[in-house]
Structures are given as C-alpha cells and as structure tokens.
C-alpha cells in the first residue's frame, strides 16, 4: 500500500515539474557560449576596468570620461533600455587586474567590458573574462602580444582601439634617428609588459636603422631614487634616453636625469603613458624639452574638435587630461553598434537576449567604422586601431605639449 502511494506521489511530483517547465514560452538562447538576458525595465550593463586611483589615475579617468561622453550622446539609452556603466579600478598592475577581473567575471549581467587601462592588468584579467564569455575592448592597452595570434596572452573576446606598440616603438626609433640624428641611445623600462615591449621594439628598430644601444636598464614602478640607474646609463654616454614608462617613475627620471653628471643635456623621451599634465606638474622646470610619442590628435576626425572636446569641457570642466579618451569613445560606440545588431527579442525595451558569441563575432567583424580616431577595421585577433603616431615636446607651462613630428 505505502509502496503504491510512493509511486503515485513520485509521478505527481514529476508531472508537476514537467508542467512548470512548460510555463511561458521564451526566446531560446542558441548562442554557443551563452546569452545575456535583459528583461524589460532592466538596464544593459557595460562595465569598465580602468586605473582610477593612484599616480596613474589620469590615464584611466580620461578614458572613462571619453566613454561617458559617448554614452551621453546616445542619451544613456540602448534599444529602449537604460545603459548601466560602472566598473572597477585596475590599479595599472597585475594585482589590480586580478581583483577587477575576478569581480567583474562574477557578474553575469555584463555584456561587454571597456578596459583595462594597462596591459599588465589585462594579461591577468583577460583569461577570466574570456572564460566568462565577455567581449572586452581596451582603449589603451598597447602591448603587442595581446593581439598577436597564437600567443598565450591573446584570448578570444579581446579587442582594442589603441595602437599596438609595434607601431609606436618603431615610430619613436625613427624619430630619434631621422629627426634628432641620434646615434647612441639607452632605454629604461619598469618591468611592466607595456614598457618592456615598447623599449624592445625601439631597440630592434633603432639597431636596424644603424644606431647603437648603450644600455637597456630598468627601474621599479614606485622607485623614487634613480641615481644608480642613471649613473650606470651615463657610463655609456647615450645621446637619448628612451623611457616609455608611467608618470610616477617617469617624472623622477626626468627630474634626476637633469642632475646626473654626464646626462645634463641628453634627450629624454617617453611614450603615451607619460602624456599628462601630471608630468608637467611633477617635473617642474626639468620637463622642458622632453619628448613623448602619442596618437596624433591633429589627424583625428573633424568631430573631435567640433563636438567631442566641447562636450568633454562642458561635462568635466577641462581639456582631456590624458590621451585615450577618443579611443574609449570609439570603443563604447562599437559596443553600442554591435548590441543593436545582435540583440534578439523585443527591441523596443522589452525582454531581450544578447548572444555572447554573436557579440564577439560582430565586434571582430567591425569594418570601416567611422570613429574619432580614424576608420576602424578589426583584425581577426582584435587589433582595431587606425594608428597614427606623432611625437610631442613638453615646454614649461604649456599643456598640451607641442607636436613636432611628423
């Protein structure tokens, strides 16, 4: 008797489960790696991971500002949903990348991530985000290996609107050789992949042109006393020191380089990581004559001067404080365009599904996208930049620095 009852109960429970399963019919997710479900009234979540504190904070806040301008232009709405734009601090370090990476990867509502600011951070965070199915597009990662096919640091789902340093380092070397007529150069990096790969590209290109490298030194990112490294560089008597590092240590190098015996008149050159008013403020008078390479703002589209900069000034009350704001603006708009294209379901603000693989495919397929930084076309490994590099020179009390090459 009891046995029969059990069987009956069991059958009832089973039937109940089946019936419950056949509730309201829903759009099925057919995407290979899953979907983001956006219900009516819920926001579409785009996250950022950028350096927004510490000495390199201008780099990240500037990019975030750029993306916010893009969002404001769209009225903060996408397919009838609000856009939720929030994020984490990548601290411009591997540790920060780990923290921000883990935190964001745990949030299934995220459709895409704009970030990180620094290559060191994305190297750690990207495996997590790639596994979580995110589409990630960085506005300022420039380390070459991130988009180099068949490389352990190149992950599916990663793209960037920033130039690869293969372009930037080579441009710096050509500038030193052709424009300055320098024959002997030394490099300093800070152990970050950004600086290390940049100086290596510089070294390769400079030696190919016929120059001599007297030293390839390094400092740590938070080092303040540079006397040892500068003395050891002075021993080789280079005519130019290339230090493509970040603001904190870079400023100390500029300051102390001017005081080192044998380097008083040596040219100093940094890269885009040191294109910031903080360098001017930190280095004081010593900043006079220091070169930095950076994207060429004069070749940006006409909207940059006419629309973007006024909007930036109106919202944040200043000129752009670093250099990757336009890249972040373009990154945001690329995501926007792709969400518009791949979202399924009610596109008037109702329930929607966004396929994660479809999103990635759409981003990689970006072709001739008219952005502020140029016409962007993505390669299969995610290099979307239209790189135009220029060299600028700092003068005391003048920001932004003066463009001198090409």
Partner 1 sequence: MLKRWRQRVTITDIVVWAIGLAIGIAVIYGTIVTWRRAEYTPQQWISLTISGLKLGGIYALIALGYTLVYGILRMINFAHSEVFMSGPFTAVFLAMYLDKIGFYNTYPLISLILVTLLSAAVSVTVALLLERIAYRRLRYAPRLVPLITAIGASFFLQYTFRGLYGNDPETYPTLDVLKGVWMLGPIPVPKTDLVVIVSAFIMMLILYLIVQKTKTGKAMRSVSEDKEAAALMGINVDRIIVFTFGMGGASAGVAGILYALVFSQVHYFMGFIPGLKAFTAAVLGGIGNVVGAWLGGTLLGLIESLGPNLFLSGLGIPAANQLKDGIAFTILVLILIFRPTGLLGERISKTKA
Binding status of residue 62 toward partner 1 by CB under 8 A? no
If we measure between CA atoms, which residue out of 95, 96, 89, 97 comes closest to residue 63? 89
Stretch that binds partner 1, among 21-29, 133-141, 251-259, 298-306 (CB under 8 A): 251-259
**Residue with Cβ nearer partner 1 (43 or 262):** 262
How many Cβ atoms from other residues are within 10 Å of residue 64's Cβ? 23
222 binds partner 1 (CB under 8 A): yes
Residue 287 interacting with partner 1 (CB under 8 A): no
> Is residue 289 at the binding interface for partner 1, with CB under 8 A as the rule?
no
Map the footprint of partner 1 across residues 172-201, applying CB under 8 A: 189, 191
Structure tokens at 138: 């960085």
Span from 228-236, 288-296, 367-375, 398-406 in contact with partner 1 (CB under 8 A): 228-236
Count of residues near partner 1 by CB under 8 A: 35
Is 260 a binder of partner 1 (CB under 8 A)?
A: yes
> Shortest gap between Cβ of 278 and partner 1 (angstroms)?
7
Residue 234 or 358: which CB sits closer to partner 1?
A: 234
To the nearest whole angstrom, how small is the minimum distance from the Cβ of residue 54 to partner 1?
A: 6
- Residues numbered 42-61 forming contacts with partner 1, rule: CB under 8 A: 53-55, 57
Nearer to partner 1, 55 or 238 (CB): 55
**Does residue number 265 form part of the binding site for partner 1 (CB under 8 A)?**
no
- Tell whether residue 161 is a contact of partner 1 (CB under 8 A): no
Which range binds partner 1 by CB under 8 A, 26-34, 154-162, 256-264, 342-350?
256-264
Cβ neighbourhood burial of 136 (10 Å; 0-12, 13-18, 19+): buried
Query: Which has the closest alpha carbon to 371: 339, 308, 329?
Result: 329
Tell me which residues in 328-347 interact with partner 1 (CB under 8 A): none
Stretch that binds partner 1, among 33-41, 248-256, 307-315, 376-384 (CB under 8 A): 248-256
Contact between 387 and 295 (Cβ < 8 Å): yes
Dist CA 261 CA 374 (whole Å): 44
Tell whether residue 217 is a contact of partner 1 (CB under 8 A): yes
Instruction: Say whether residue 154 binds partner 1 (CB under 8 A).
Output: no
Rounded CA-CA distance 71/180 in Å is 42
Instruction: Check residue 281 for interaction with partner 1 (CB under 8 A).
Output: yes
Among 10, 16, 108, 228, binds partner 1 (CB under 8 A): 228
Specify the stretch interacting with partner 1 by CB under 8 A; choose among 94-102, 247-255, 323-331, 387-395: 247-255
379 binds partner 1 (CB under 8 A): no
Residues that bind partner 1 (CB under 8 A): 53-55, 57, 189, 191, 216-220, 222-225, 227-229, 231-232, 234-235, 248, 251-252, 255, 259-262, 278, 281-282, 284-285
């Amino acid at each position: 008797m009891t046995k029969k009852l059990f069987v009956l109960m069991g059958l009832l429970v089973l039937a109940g489960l089946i019936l419950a399963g056949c509730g309201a019919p829903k759009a099925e997710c057919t995407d290979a790696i899953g979907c983001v479900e956006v219900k009516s009234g819920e926001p579409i979540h785009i996250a950022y991971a950028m350096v927004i504190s510490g000495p390199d904070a201008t780099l990240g806040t500037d990019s975030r500002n750029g993306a916010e301008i893009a969002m404001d232009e769209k009225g903060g709405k996408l397919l009838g949903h609000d856009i939720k734009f929030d994020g984490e601090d990548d601290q411009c370090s591997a540790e920060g990348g780990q923290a921000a990476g883990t935190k964001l990867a745990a949030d299934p509502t995220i459709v895409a991530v704009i970030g990180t600011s620094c290559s060191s951070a994305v190297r750690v965070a990207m495996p997590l985000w790639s596994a979580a199915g995110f589409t990630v597009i960085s506005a300022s990662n420039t380390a070459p290996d991130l988009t180099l096919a068949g490389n352990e640091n190149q992950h599916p789902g990663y793209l960037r609107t920033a130039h690869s340093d293969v372009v930037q380092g080579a441009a710096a070397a050509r500038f030193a050789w052709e424009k300055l007529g320098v024959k002997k150069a030394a490099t300093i990096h800070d152990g970050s992949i950004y600086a290390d790969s940049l100086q290596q590209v510089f070294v390769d290109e400079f030696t190919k042109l016929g120059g001599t490298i007297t030293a390839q030194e390094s400092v740590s990112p938070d080092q303040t006393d540079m006397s040892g490294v500068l003395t050891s560089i002075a021993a080789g008597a280079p005519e130019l020191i290339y230090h493509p590092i970040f603001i904190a240590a870079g400023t100390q190098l500029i300051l102390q380089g001017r005081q080192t015996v044998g380097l008083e008149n040596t040219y100093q050159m940094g890269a885009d990581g040191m294109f910031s008013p903080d360098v001017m403020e930190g280095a004081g008078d010593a900043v006079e004559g220091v070169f930095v390479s950076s994207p060429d703002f004069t070749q940006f589209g006409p909207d940059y001067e006419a629309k973007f900069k006024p909007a930036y000034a109106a919202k944040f009350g200043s000129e752009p404080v670093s250099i990757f704001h336009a890249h972040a603006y373009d990154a945001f708009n690329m995501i926007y365009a792709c969400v518009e294209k791949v979202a399924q379901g009610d596109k008037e603000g109702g329930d929607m599904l966004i396929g994660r693989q479809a999103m990635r495919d759409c981003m990689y397929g970006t072709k001739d996208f008219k952005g502020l930084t140029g016409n962007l076309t993505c390669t299969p490994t995610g290099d979307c930049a239209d790189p135009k590099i220029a060299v600028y020179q700092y003068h005391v009390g003048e920001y932004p620095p003066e463009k001198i090459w090409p």
